[in-house]
Every structure is written in C-alpha cells, then in structure tokens.
Amino acid sequence: MSEKPSLFSRFSGGVAQLTGKPATFVIAVAGILLWAVTGPIFGFSETWQLVVNTGTTIITFLMVFVLQNSQNRDGKAVQAKLDELILTSGAENRFMGIEHLDEKELRRLTELLRAAAESEPDHALAGKVDHIIRDRRTKLKKKG
C-alpha cells in the first residue's frame, strides 16, 4: 500500500481539491465579470469574444480529464473499502463485484433489496440475488 501515486494522479487530486472550493468559483465568476466589463473597451470585437470562448473551452476540455481521473480513483477506493467490509463482516460475499452489473440489473437488484428490507426474510432474498448475479456472470463468460 506504500506505492506512490503517479504525478498525474497527484496533480488531478490537487486540481480537484482546488476547483471544488468556493473561492475558486468566486475567482471564475470574477474573471467572467472582468471580461464582460472590458467588452465596451474592446468594442465587443470578435477577438474579445474569442478570448473567453477559447479560454473556457480549453479549461473545460482539460478539466474533464483531470476530474474524471480523480473521480475514477475515488470510486475504486470506495469500492475496495466496500469489498473489504463485505469480506470481513457478516454480509453476503456474493455482493462482491456487483458494480459490473449493467444498469437494468442494478436497478432490479436495488428493487429486490428495498422490497426485502420491507417485507421478506433474508433467506428469501438470497435466492433472488443469486439469480441476478449468476445470470450476469454467465453473460460475461459467454462474451469473454
């Protein structure tokens, strides 16, 4: 666990932290207001418009990759923590890997769990959950 994160991972984590602060939002709004106020000075020229369009497009494009990297790492870390909790608790091990179910299967599983929490005994739910997970694993094996 002592593996040092890559330079990009450290960078994207830092950028995600920085951009998520209220002060960063205020700075962005101030930048746009400054740009808008300078409109009359530059006669609302095409170059004046191009500055903000280009700047915001570049920032947005780069931020997608930086924030997605940070979000992916966070998601994987949360998943690893949940898997550890499942393995070390009385929870059902069959829930390991359900993040690979498709949207329809996850929705159905959520509905089953919600209904079971309200009415069914735990053993009745186990068979239904097994069926959903077993079907998905069979589909994945056929594809791979």
| pLDDT for 66 | 92
| pLDDT for 102 | 87
| pLDDT for 38 | 95
Contacts (Cβ under 8 Å, ≥6 apart) of 112: 125, 128, 129, 132
Q: How far apart are CA 52 and CA 21, in angstroms?
A: 22
State both tokens at 94: 């069959």
45 — phi, psi (to 5°)?
-70, 170
| pLDDT for 42 | 94
Q: How far apart are CA 136 and CA 84, in angstroms?
A: 22
Mean pLDDT by groups of 10 residues along the chain of 144 residues: 80 90 96 95 95 95 93 90 84 80 88 77 65 76 76
Residue closest to 94 by CA, chosen among 103, 83, 81, 102: 83
Q: How far apart are CA 19 and CA 67, in angstroms?
A: 9
| pLDDT for 121 | 62
State both tokens at 48: 């004046």
| pLDDT for 44 | 93
| pLDDT for 135 | 76
